[in-house]
Chains A and B, each alone.
Chain A
């Protein structure tokens, strides 16, 4: 690694403040447009909304100055911009439903989740002064992660919603423990891999010039594979299954620098998915709905109707979209959650969708930069794992809606309606801010 000669390090806090201003502007203008097109534009509520956003942005900015002064300056504005767009879109869907006589207040609820999420993010910064602390909880995190993942299968609390059994209900509230399990498992993978990387990396037979792992070292991979398959078959959730397994294989690759792990993992997952597709009809139906979505028979059976309606929505948006409040997002089921991407595609057009994907890319890019910047192996794996988790989750959701891969029930981070996802993803941002702060802090470099 190159030595740093210059001792004056820019914190980037001022840049962050400027970018936060832009993010707040996007959020408030989007909301204003939505209200305007719903003939609901009143200046006082909009001013209050703008005030809340300014306060939140300033608050979180000051918190970062106080507890993570050297944190990456781009992460927070990018996430807030996404969050603001999501809130506006969800409010817009509320209006669309209201026009059809269906009263929903997704927008209000999501605002509360957003504020809670940001609070959690700040709490992470306040309470976790050194991310290396987390390594102590490697195996605790692993157990918690597995429990969280399999909790929805428990008889009493597990609940099936929209065909996927990824929910638990506690005190009448439904929760997606998988979102939190994701974080715990990344911590576990990072801790486990940083301790065992040498064994996993060096030993094993050479086939076709490539060193493959020894069968006895395949244990952890096999375990995660089994968990992923269980999730896919019994929770009917291909998304979480793919996400979990993908994160693990990616982190394994980062830890061992061996492409053979990726190949083995990829083959295992593909084999498992094909097997599950043939053996279990409900898994197979998902694949059919994906491959033959527009087939009249598949459509009529209802299997691909949701997906195709989403495609119709995006197609109607075209290059520049109908404009916020001008489309018909309510014609797609779950326009505020699973299909918020197609709602955004319809009203903001391909242009808007590209911008949103670019925001995600920026966030992921910042996470991976942090991974490269930090010296500690555990931190590298943690940052890379969290960054890849966001990237893969976006790929799985948006890919499902755009028919790149089969449709799954994952949420779009920061955009889709849903509390668990909002809280969990803000925690991820908190962790990334903490790691980046330590990566860029001068005394760490020197």
Chain B
């Protein structure tokens, strides 16, 4: 009976070999496919179940992972969800992630190359992988001031530090609460998401950098003025400023805002034209300069750039090969001119920083789980749109706008403010957009700001940038100056 026992042992060996082959197939060969299978919640749990680094503003975590007793281990939590939603974005098991949660995912999750040494250390010490913390450039005070002053108006506020390009505030309204999408109940998250999608005013859209682009209206006159200064004009250069400007090859006649007269003599200095935002003077100036000069200047200020701060910024647009009449319209920020609020803030920042435009950025530094800095963002120049003398001239002209022109409501007692208002026509049936861009203090700027009220927000009565947007800009600039002082 020994021979069959030996054969039996061979059979058993074959059976076990089959098991080993099957196990190898599952754990090695097919492992990739199985791990990538959409039904495999494990992959989701692994990604969402590790400790994710916090998002920090001013030294305090505004988004963090809270340990919880469910399969995901951690619940993404928010100290002030709606306030920072535009920057932080959401982090959802159903809909993925957006904004910083998405662009900095590898760092927050702890899988980024920069964290290699940290991971190696963890491997040795047996600690589990922990994500890095991402500190934003946002200032809690400025962000809050911007959000509160904008209120429930539809629109956006962007504040930059003109010296570095740091984004101090990025507010879009209406906003949403990322906590509503961070839950672990798929059905609940889904319902909340559908509700947000269904809202007509698009709370998930970041109007500051990536919503619709908006006609900049009179704020675009800053670009035209910069182009004029570069072409040899001075603040005192006389411009042709008629009450009515017939546009070439059309039957259209351009008027000033409300049909007003810029100057009884039909002549006006560049500074005055900017101060009272004279349309006919700038339209005529634009036609005289030629579109290519203005276009180049706009591009110097970042127009058309595909910025990532690291959130993707929608490039602002300009008309292509406009004729004379279209050039006239485009010179006062109408026709096909389209800009994001960030772009307009960059124009203010470029003028404020003596003509040097710093690249805007939102992430200041990244620290690993042991709080060692793994990445510190250094400010860099994006371009030099103006020479310092021209920038100073334009600054003085903008101070005139606030001191004694259309932007009076942006005045801050004891501090000289530079600014420009804008009221951009959008169409026959809709209210115009109200704009204000500016910076303060004018002689030593610490903040550059752009405020947009989409279709005038929910204002009653006359809609102008000077009336609606300038007061908001003032509050934001005050907050930034106060924060700068306490730094």
Contact = CB atoms under 8 A, between A and B. Distances in A.
Interface of A: 99-101, 250, 253-255, 257, 294, 299, 308, 311-319, 326, 328, 330-331, 345, 349-350, 353-354, 357, 360-361, 364-365, 368, 371-372, 377, 380-381, 384, 388, 391-392, 394-395, 398-399, 402-404
Interface stretch (B15-23, B158-166, B467-475): B15-23
Nearest to B49: A328
A415 to B, nearest CB: 14
B5 A315 contact: no
Nearest to B40: A312
B429 interface: no
B33 to A, nearest CB: 8
Contacts of B487: none
A228 B149 CA distance: 80
B15 A391 contact: yes
A345 B23 contact: yes
B274 to A, nearest CB: 64
30 contacts: A100-B69, A100-B70, A250-B8, A257-B3, A257-B4, A299-B39, A312-B35, A312-B37, A312-B42, A315-B35, A318-B27, A318-B28, A328-B45, A328-B71, A345-B23, A350-B23, A350-B24, A350-B27, A350-B28, A353-B23, A354-B20, A361-B13, A368-B6, A384-B5, A388-B8, A398-B23, A399-B18, A402-B26, A403-B22, A404-B22
A317 B6 contact: no
B3 A331 contact: no
B8 A254 contact: yes
Contacts of A357: 16, 19-20, 23
Contacts of B31: 315-316, 318
B198 interface: no
A394 B20 CA distance: 12
B9 A368 contact: yes
Contacts of B18: 395, 399, 404
Contact of A257 (B1, B16, B26): B1
A394 B15 CA distance: 10
A322 to B, nearest CB: 9
A323 to B, nearest CB: 9
Contacts of A254: 1, 4-5, 8
Contacts of A381: 1
Given A315-B34, A316-B35, A402 B8 contact: no
A361 B16 contact: yes
B103 to A, nearest CB: 27
Nearest to A402: B22
A377 B8 contact: no
A311 B26 contact: yes
B41 interface: yes
Nearest to A350: B27
Going nearest first, the 3 A-B pairs with the smallest beta carbon separation are A315-B34, A402-B22, A315-B31
Given A257-B3, A312-B37, A360 B46 contact: no
Interface of B: 1-9, 12-13, 15-16, 18-20, 22-24, 26-28, 30-31, 34-35, 37, 39-43, 45-46, 49, 69-71, 73, 128
A353 B41 CA distance: 23
A361 B16 CA distance: 8
Contacts of B71: 100, 328, 330-331
A99 B128 contact: no
Question: DSSP class of B's interface residues: helix, strand, loop or mixed?
Answer: helix
Nearest to A377: B1
A313 B34 CA distance: 9
Nearest to A255: B1
Contacts of B30: 315
B9 A345 contact: no
Given A311-B26, A403-B26, 15 more contacts: A100-B71, A257-B4, A294-B37, A314-B23, A331-B42, A331-B45, A354-B20, A372-B6, A380-B1, A380-B2, A395-B19, A398-B23, A399-B18, A399-B19, A402-B22
B34 A312 contact: yes
A336 to B, nearest CB: 17
Contact of B19 (A330, A380, A402): A402
B20 to A, nearest CB: 6
Contacts of B41: 331
Contact of A364 (B12, B22, B26): B12
Nearest to B18: A404
B48 to A, nearest CB: 12
Nearest to B19: A398
Contacts of B39: 299, 308, 312
A100 B69 CA distance: 5
A318 B28 CA distance: 6
Given A368-B8, A402-B19, A317 B3 contact: no
B391 to A, nearest CB: 58
B42 A313 contact: yes
A315 B128 contact: no
Contacts of A398: 19, 23
A231 to B, nearest CB: 21
A95 to B, nearest CB: 12
Find the residue from B9, B35, B41 having the highest chain A CB count within 10 A. B9
Contacts of B42: 312-313, 316, 328, 331
Contact of B2 (A299, A361, A372): A372
Contacts of A353: 23, 27
A395 B23 contact: no
A328 B45 CA distance: 9
Find the residue from A345, A349, A372 having the highest chain B CB count within 10 A. A372
A299 B73 CA distance: 26
A316 B15 CA distance: 24
Contact of A253 (B8, B35, B49, B69): B8
Contact of A314 (B3, B19, B27, B46): B27
Contacts of A250: 8
Contacts of B20: 354, 357
A349 B28 CA distance: 10
Contacts of A294: 37
Contacts of B43: 316
A99 B1 contact: no
B19 A368 contact: no
A314 B30 CA distance: 10
Contact of A391 (B4, B12, B24): B12
A312 B20 CA distance: 17
A330 B19 CA distance: 23
A361 B31 CA distance: 26
A394 B16 CA distance: 9
Contacts of A317: 27
